[in-house]
Amino acid sequence: MSKVLIIGAGGVGNVVVRKCAMLPEVFSDICLASRTKSKCDEIAKHTKTPIKTAQVDADDPKQVAELIRSFKPELVINVALPYQDLPIMDACLETGTNYLDTANYEPKDEAKFCYKWQWEYQERFKEKGIMALLGSGFDPGVTNVFTAYVNKHLLDEIETLDIIDCNAGDHGQAFATNFNPEINIREVTAKGKYYKDGNWVETPPLSESRVYNFPENIGDKKIYLMYHEELESLVKHIPSIREARFWMTFSDNYLKHLEVLQNVGMTSIQPVKYNGVEIVPLQFLKAVLPDPGSLGKTTKGKTCIGCLVKGKKDGKEKTVYIYNICDHEECFAEVESQAISYTTGVPAMIGAKMMLEKKWSGKGVFNMEQMDPDPFMEDLNKYGLPWKYDIC
């Protein structure tokens, strides 16, 4: 019997809540809380088992702690925005409650994400005897577990890692992002960065690209080098890795719109005065773009996210490609979501399940690759994200 408090009623929150509510033997009591309670109530109408809902401003650790004290969950699943990671972790510390999220902290006024801020909670979580599991989405999340699985079972030593994220779906809109537009555009317009021989190498935004041939009829797609947070934790925890990169596909149409929006200043996070009111252009842009949670109905096609890992097995050079393919329309049929929210929400549910079943446990702050990949990989197959690998 385990109670969970889920914070954030967006695209990802909808999937986590519905998936958790399908497993009452693990998640016996669920409360969904968010800034706008009506969004929680709307999701609650569609869950397999009944859930509670609440209003909370998760920027305020006191409000979160108060909610935790009244609901008494064993675990808080944070699927609000990265800005809320630290206030929610503070509330977990204050109340002695376990914590899980899907994206690392970034300050609102600087588009810079890194694990430093959350890793600094290590000693305090340890002393309190509680666990924080960071980045339990797909990337970060499943990609970390895929890498740990390859490291445990398929290669003796990993040398290079390329994480490749392909969304070959089409939502039929002129321009939309497939998760929170503010966070997405901050990430995509940032400089690229990869790890090589102990150093981080920076590249101008989206300046490096190549064509990659994806499996199962997805075919050739252009992939662009970006920085992604799991690179930071993976090279720390798997020190044999000497090169680690992250790549993502973008359509020409997405890039064309993004370029224009950037050129006219709409992606800026510097406040401007408009009619006497201070507004942040990127936040205004988010308000006029389609809500990613609403794209499910019209999105067709597949995602393919995986890791291309090179290293040695029994003294021989080997290459492993391990990946999941997810179909947008199948996700919508199951939980009324497109595949991006689905591929994030399902691993958040599985990470929480690992913690509640004590298959993953510890005191302190952990990244996914520090845990045994096997039970998580088993559950990916059971709960909607089957994986495959090729080795040569």
DSSP code for 191: P
Contact status: 13 vs ligand NDP (CB under 6 A): yes
| Amino acid at the residue 250 | F
Q: Could you tell me which residues come within 8 angstroms of residue 89 by beta carbon, excluding any fewer than 6 positions away?
A: 99, 118, 121, 132
Say if residue 239 is preceded by a cis peptide, omega within 30 of 0.
Answer: no
- In the region spanning residues 37 to 96, those forming contacts with ligand NDP, defined by CB under 6 A, are 39, 56-59, 79-82, 84
Please choose, out of 91-99, 122-130, 137-145, 197-205, the segment that lies near ligand NDP by the rule CB under 6 A: 137-145
Binding mask 339-358 for ligand NDP (x = CB under 6 A): -xx--x--------------
Q: Which of 22, 214, 238 is nearest to 143 (CA)?
A: 238
Environment class of residue 318 by beta-carbon count within 10 Å: exposed (0-12), middle (13-18) or buried (19+)?
Answer: middle
CA dihedral 325, 329, 333, 334 (to 10 degrees): 20
Of 65-73, 114-122, 135-143, 214-222: span binding ligand NDP (CB under 6 A): 135-143
Helix, strand or coil, per DSSP, at residue 11: helix
DSSP category for residue 190: S
Strands 29-34 and 3-7 come out as: parallel
Q: How far apart are CA 191 and CA 224, in angstroms?
A: 12
Which part of the chain contacts ligand NDP (CB under 6 A), choosing from 204-212, 336-344, 373-381, 383-391? 336-344
- What per-residue string of b and e applies to 189-222 under the rule 16 or more CB within 10 Å gives b? bbebbbbeeeeeeebeebeeeeebebeeebeebe
> Could you tell me which stretch among 69-77, 133-141, 275-283, 365-373 binds ligand NDP (CB under 6 A)?
133-141
Residue 234 binds ligand NDP (CB under 6 A): no
Decide if residue 326 touches ligand NDP (CB under 6 A).
no
- Which lies closer to ligand NDP via its Cβ, residue 137 or residue 311? 137
According to CB under 6 A, which residues from 264 to 293 bind ligand NDP? Answer: 292-293
Segment 139 to 198, residues that bind ligand NDP, using CB under 6 A: 139-141, 179-180, 183
Residues touching ligand NDP, count (CB under 6 A): 35
Q: Which of 18, 19, 35, 228 binds ligand NDP (CB under 6 A)?
A: 35
Q: Which of 10, 306, 373, 384 binds ligand NDP (CB under 6 A)?
A: 10
Instruction: Give the shortest CB-221-to-ligand NDP separation in angstroms.
Output: 19
Nearest residue relative to ligand NDP (C-beta): 10
Q: Interface residues with ligand NDP (CB under 6 A)?
A: 7-13, 34-36, 39, 56-59, 79-82, 84, 102-103, 137-141, 179-180, 183, 292-293, 340-341, 344
